[in-house]
Amino acid sequence: MADMRWGGWGVDADRVTLSDQVLGLLRQGLGIEPVPTTLAAEQLEVPDSRLPLDVGEALAARLGADQVRTDRDSRLVHVGGKSTVDLWRRRAGDASAVPDAVLLPGSHGEVLAALDVCAEHGVAVVPFGGGTSVVGGVEPARDGFGSVVTIDLRRLARLVGVDDRSMTARLEPGLRGPEAERLLGEHGLTLGHFPQSFEYASIGGFAATRSAGQASSGYGRFDDLVVALRVATPAGGLELGRAPASAAGPDLRQLFLGSEGALGIITEVTVRVRPAPETIHDEAWAFADFATGCEAVRRLAQSDALATVTRLSDAAETAVNLALAGDVGAEGPASSGCLLIAGHEGPAREVDAARAATAAVLDATGARRLDDDVAAGWRSGRYHAPYLRDALLDAGAQVETLETATSWARLSDLYAAVSAALTESLTAAGTPPLVLCHVSHAYPTGASLYYTVVAKAAADPIEQWSAAKRAAGDAIARAGATITHHHGVGLDHRPWMVDEVGELGVAVLRSVKATVDPRGILNPGKLIPPP
Cβ atoms of 374 and 326 closer than 8 Å: no
Q: How many CA atoms lie within 13 A of 467 on its CB side?
A: 15
Residues assigned a catalytic role: 450
- CA 116 to CA 234: how far, in whole Å? 6
Going from the C-alpha of 502 to that of each of 404, 493, 507, the distances in angstroms are 18, 14, 9
Contact assessment for residue 191 and residue 180, using Cβ atoms and an 8 Å cutoff: yes
Report d(CA 529, CA 524) in Å as an integer.
Answer: 10
Sequence-ordered list of residues with C-beta below 8 angstroms from that of 331, at least 6 positions apart, any chain:
none
d(CA 371, CA 382): 18
- Element of type H or E holding 267: strand 265-272
| Among 301, 162, 278, 294, residue whose Cα is nearest residue 218 | 301
Report the SS3 class of residue 467.
Answer: helix
Q: Are 137 and 260 in contact (CB under 8 A)?
A: yes
Cα 153 to Cα 128: distance, rounded to the nearest angstrom: 6
| CA–CA separation, 83 and 71 (whole Å) | 25
Nearest to 484 by CA among 507, 434, 512, 450: 450
β-bridge partners, 149: 101, 125
Q: Which residues contact 71 (CB under 8 A, 6 or more apart)?
A: none
What are the helix (H) ranges across 283-330?
290-302, 315-324
Residues 6+ positions from 485 with CB-CB distance below 8 Å: 212, 403, 404, 405, 441, 448, 450
**Most distant CA atoms of the chain, gap in Å:** 70
DSSP result, 13-65: GG-----HHHHHHHHHHH-----PPPPPGGGS--PPP---HHHHHHHHHHH-G
Q: Which residues of 435-450 are buried (b: 16+ CB within 10 A; e: fewer)?
A: bbbbbbbbbeebbbbb
Among the listed residues 499, 395, 508, 500, the one whose alpha carbon sits nearest the alpha carbon of residue 454: 395
